[in-house]
Structure 1
Amino acid sequence: MKTILIAAVFALLTSILCTPMVVVYFRRRGFGQEIRIDGPQTHLVKRGTPTMGGVAIIGSTVIGYALAHIIIAVRGGGGPTASGLLALFLMVGLGAVGFVDDLIKIRRQRSLGLRARAKFTGQLLVTVAFAILALHWPNKFGDAPASTHLSFVRDIAAIGFGSVGFVILAYLIISATSNAVNLTDGLDGLAAGAAAMVFGAFTLISFLQFRNPCGNNPVGGCYQVRDSLDLALVAASAMSACFGFLWWNASPAQIFMGDTGSLALGGLMGGLAILTRTELLLIALGGLFAAITVSSILQTGWFKVTRIRTGTGRRIFRMAPLHHHFELLGWDPSTIIVRFWIMGGMAVAFGMGLFYADFIGNG
């Protein structure tokens, strides 16, 4: 537990203290945010606010994790594990895709960066590499970081996909979560605050799994998760990095995370769900992100259907994603953020309730 707290504290301090340096550097370089011309007009005043702040979140997460392991090594403990390194690889890799996307927006002075095909290709390459390594990086007992079975709070033995099927499933999960966080990142602090709650949940889940391993003598309710304590270090570092970034990203934001941060955070969520064997539980934990994504899907789908049928596309919401709909209804952005945080917190609480109910029921 102490090492988890150490990782969290180091990541928090790094994020709070270093993010202002990133703000100053990006302002000097002219790395300002471009705003959608079809979005709420109130957002136009944000044009030029430094973006790509996700580098501060990623860097703080890695530093928190690394410093915790240095202290562990000094005390004679083991080093980083395959699961922890894979989770960070996924975060950094997708962050790099987002960084390229943000850089193109800045260089070309437009709100659109990489083309959809190029963006999905980048996500595909990173995710496939993660999935293959997760299945072929066994420890001395022959256990791989990931499983080819679908999972809820643990593997569902009756539903297996095989190696190829797992790679496809991993891509679907990770691309869905990374793009969901990307869609949510539309108001100051909304995505960072909601993501911090989800990573807090994964910290607790991983710690409970660490305290109840199956080992060589599986008992009812045990968890067949490899390197669970190290995953808790990653999740705690990410949680604190988000909180530290939120200090500067809260309204009025002094910096935006950009696609650099949103793709990285979403990818890490998906990676943690896969490595902790809680893939379906992620739908509950990330209920806010799921609702916002569904709103965009419904908006796009309904517009296309009605355009085919009537020749004129119609919309369900005034604007998608969902938070922009409420902006156009006249809600104050700060009110939307707080209420959506409440929704995100309720979703995380519900997901943790499901996990804990199974934990108690099989304990």
Structure 2
Amino acid sequence: MKKKPTQTPNNKPARSAVGRRKFIKRSGLFLAATTLPSYGLWVSGKNRKLGVALVGLGNYSTNQLAPALQETSHCELRGIVTGSPEKIPRWKEKYGIKDKNVYNYENMHTVANNDDIDVIYIVLPVSMHAEYSIIAANAGKHVWCEKPMAKNAAECREIIEACNKNNVKLSIGYRMQHEKNTQTIMKWVETKPYGQIQDLKAEAGFHSNNIIPWKLKKDMGGGAMYDMGVYPLNAARYSTGMEPVAVSATHTTTRPQMFDEVDETTIFDLEFPEGITASCRTSFGESMNTLEINCSDGWYRLSPFQSYTGVKGKTSDGKVLEPFGKNQQAVQMDDDALAIINNEPVMVPGEDGLRDIEIVEKIFESADKDGERISL
């Protein structure tokens, strides 16, 4: 099955190890966060909760984000944007949402006049992320955008530009980077308790015959690589603290009648500086959920590494990384809210989401060319 990626300029990544703090500091959002004034859009008073409006009331908003917002300390659900009027009464009753905080996609821009709403969380099909993130930014609201950030790198850059132009913060919904055990292995990039990283394996996928319909549509940003593949891709980057320098990839399918537009399974290999390699796999047809890092003096792994609950791990010397009990989405949103309240850099800026999409485009280019090695 051939994929035709959108072509974008070849922005070459750094060819050396980049720690998490260095990555954030070199991003435009760090500069924006440290130079913007502490008034206006920035929250005064650290006890105030931020008002969040969810855009799109599908499965993830309904079953994950809305319940998680009931567990947050620094933000709360105050608004909704939906194209399904029949959902509105249920959401208003369950979460006490005021009439004035209910919007549709046509009037969403008028949220600019609503002081109840500080943050707009975009939870829509990938093809809609750029349009509605930009509307939110132009309304003067901080933007939380679900992963993957957008369909192509050009759209990612448009989102970043809109947020910078409007002096609002942008964070991408990579919840794993907020998770305790994941943060432990990210710290090990610098402390190297098991020596130099040599190679890693990252896999994320599930088997289902009832996939959400838009995720089977190419023009909506569907397919395994966009939906699940950014987990192993992002994990390979944060587990090494490096940016890949080359990629090779192939697509496979066992259900061509179902996956006639998008990939069912994508296998991709990443090459990093210092000879480090990453073997990655993602699928809508196979269940997998593992991150393994092999080092010169041992190894460590998380399995599962990207589930909503129960992320746990172990190491070659017998350490056990026990599951963290807190709601992942609640931790993520509180972290992002505190970045706004304290006017500090967000943990996962738009540049992080952009880099993943730049690499995703090259993954599809390689798969189009029967696994040819593509330099980044």
TM range (shorter): under 0.3
TM-score (normalised: structure 1): 0.25
TM-score (normalised: structure 2): 0.25
More strand by share: 2
